[in-house]
Chain A
């Protein structure tokens, strides 16, 4: 019966209830064609949320993801503007994302800065840099070679590959166990000989690289790179991770939960602005979901003594 008690089951139930309610309110919303169109909006968030889960598992956090997406995106734009071939421009975005992530990782791992502070600083810095290098102007007009990355099935395939890889690493590899071990008790992990610093550097670099990937998809979809893209992505990614059952204190969380969390955020957000036609409600809803996630955590998890003191 452990499955019935699991968080994933609870999330799936809520998701089903939500979709049922949406269907009652407006049957057109659950129509596959409508969902096909709306689904295009979720993949950047989904791709950024996977490494976020791994970072949260290791008891870290990356607040700079939205800004990294902007920085990588404008670098793609600038490279394209200067006549770089599409493949080079895309690689530039990935590379810049990776470099930005590595800098985060360096701050956290080598200098021991708390990830909340380190990535808060780079969240401001990367956004500022993106605005600075473009003078806040949009860069538009991309060839088919870039635009096709936003088309079905690429974004979904990339996400599924990424999520599958993350699930595999967590379940089957020593790196996965290291991540959980570091999140659970870092000092003990260090004494056990786990290369904690290298692990963290790798995780933040992965996060940055995925931001670069999300930036490519976003630029391809919108046909524009602009310094204000990816605004608020960190909030949504962290909400998805926590909603999916990961503990913000590290050491606990599953990819399957994350997928359900993402689905819940996506459907709720789309339906709120679909039905009530008020964009400003979206932020309220995301905030409410975050609170609900914490309450759910308490309702489900407290009995098992999973709380740690530290």
Chain B
């Protein structure tokens, strides 16, 4: 009797799993082999930022008639991301675009994929140059640094804005942020009325960003603006200003997604949120991956035709998206990510 039960279970499993979906998938199976398949790996799945990138990627995949796989670790664990890259390698996809959470962890898996003849590129964040062929870069540090200062100056009254400003950064060793700070300092020279008084770390800790901003407001009563240049520091700094009742007196700006900062923008604590167009980033990544598979994007190329985005610049091994987006009270309603 037991044997019959077990056997029935096995047969049921076989038919339930084996038969159902394969009928619908069966017809497209031979086509799928010839089709270009691009796998897009975010740092973490289910985060608004990456979800909106994926929307743009899906748009490009539809236009190009290719199959898009969008999957990533829900925990943000790089080891999980490695498993996915290995799987895609075993499946023999055409190209893999990786936003590496930890370049050291993902590097070996990306090299394994390249060894199998799969085109590998990075997007959003970079890995070691020998692990990928191209990086799709969202914006140059210069654009971001200049964009932040210009937005702050505008919020404080234009070219002749005056007052003390401070930076709340991630960690003092964070490479991205330090690049931005360099360009913030360069751009500040254009606005002689703005004086940078302090640069404080928040170590990717929202509570620390909150208390650091509180301390800054106490230490510098003339403080008019705070650059909170990590997605974690930004809401922390905005909350500190809001709770101190200094909404409108101390301006906060930084990089974040519209949804994360929407309430602060609507309350007026924050007037400008800087970011690149995430949909376009996903879109460009898929365009670049397809061009890489087709062979139209190869070392030495200087331009890339990217569908609705027109021609994009390629400098060295980087495809540049370029152009930053400023979210304000007026336009933030149009963005939902």
Please report the C-alpha to C-alpha distance between residue A39 and residue B224 in the assembled complex, in whole angstroms: 57
- Nearest chain A CB to B73's CB is how many angstroms away? 6
Sorting the interface of chain B by its residue count into under 10, 10 to 19, 20 to 34 or 35 or more gives: 35 or more
Residues on B with beta carbons closer than 8 Å to the beta carbon of A37:
86-87, 89-90, 112
Query: Is A14 a contact of B17 with CB atoms below 8 Å?
Result: no
Residues on B with beta carbons closer than 8 Å to the beta carbon of A4:
3
| B21 CB within 8 Å of chain A | yes
Residues on A with beta carbons closer than 8 Å to the beta carbon of B45:
279-280
Identify the closest chain B residue to A28 (Cβ).
Answer: B91
Query: Which of A9, A31, A228, A274 sits near B87, CB closer than 8 Å?
Result: A274
| A82 CB within 8 Å of chain B | no
Take A273-B87, A279-B73, A299-B5 as given contacts and tell me if A17 and B78 are in contact as well, using a CB distance cutoff of 8 Å: no
- Nearest chain A CB to B211's CB is how many angstroms away? 18
- Nearest chain A CB to B34's CB is how many angstroms away? 14
Identify the closest chain B residue to A300 (Cβ).
Answer: B2
- Nearest chain A CB to B3's CB is how many angstroms away? 6
Query: Which of B71, B78, B80 sits near A224, CB closer than 8 Å?
Result: B78
- Nearest chain B CB to A229's CB is how many angstroms away? 6
Please report the C-alpha to C-alpha distance between residue A85 and residue B240 in the assembled complex, in whole angstroms: 48
Query: Is B21 a contact of A270 with CB atoms below 8 Å?
Result: no
Q: Would you call the interface of chain B mostly helix, strand, loop, or mixed? A: helix
- Nearest chain A CB to B227's CB is how many angstroms away? 24
Query: Is B6 a contact of A138 with CB atoms below 8 Å?
Result: no
Query: Is B102 a contact of A224 with CB atoms below 8 Å?
Result: yes
Query: Is B91 a contact of A279 with CB atoms below 8 Å?
Result: no
Take A5-B3, A17-B11 as given contacts and tell me if A34 and B91 are in contact as well, using a CB distance cutoff of 8 Å: yes
Contact indicator per residue, chain A 1-43, by CB within 8 Å of chain B (1) or not (0): 0001100011001101110110011001001011101101100
| B163 CB within 8 Å of chain A | no
Query: Which of A14, A218, A278 sits near B10, CB closer than 8 Å?
Result: A14
Contact indicator per residue, chain B 18-53, by CB within 8 Å of chain A (1) or not (0): 110110010000000000000000000110000000
Query: Which of A13, A21, A25, A273 sits near B25, CB closer than 8 Å?
Result: A25
Take A37-B90, A273-B87 as given contacts and tell me if A222 and B105 are in contact as well, using a CB distance cutoff of 8 Å: yes
Query: Is B10 a contact of A299 with CB atoms below 8 Å?
Result: no
Query: Is A17 a contact of B3 with CB atoms below 8 Å?
Result: no
- Nearest chain A CB to B232's CB is how many angstroms away? 13
Query: Which of A17, A40, A141 sits near B14, CB closer than 8 Å?
Result: A17
Query: Is B87 a contact of A18 with CB atoms below 8 Å?
Result: no
| B335 CB within 8 Å of chain A | no
- By a beta-carbon cutoff of 8 Å, the part of chain A in contact with chain B is 4-5, 9-10, 13-14, 16-18, 20-21, 24-25, 28, 31, 33-35, 37-38, 40-41, 138, 140-141, 218, 221-224, 226, 228-229, 231, 270, 273-274, 277-280, 296, 299-300, 303
Nearest 4 Cβ contacts at the A-B interface: A21-B18, A140-B104, A34-B90, A21-B17
Additional A-B contact list (14), CB under 8 Å, known A24-B22, A34-B91: A13-B6, A14-B9, A14-B13, A28-B90, A37-B89, A218-B79, A222-B78, A222-B104, A222-B108, A231-B75, A270-B87, A274-B87, A279-B80, A299-B6
29 sample A-B contacts, Cβ–Cβ < 8 Å, listed by A number:
A4-B3, A13-B6, A14-B10, A17-B13, A20-B18, A25-B17, A25-B25, A35-B90, A37-B112, A38-B86, A38-B90, A41-B86, A138-B104, A141-B104, A221-B108, A222-B79, A222-B105, A224-B105, A226-B78, A229-B77, A231-B75, A273-B84, A273-B87, A274-B90, A277-B71, A279-B74, A280-B46, A280-B74, A300-B6
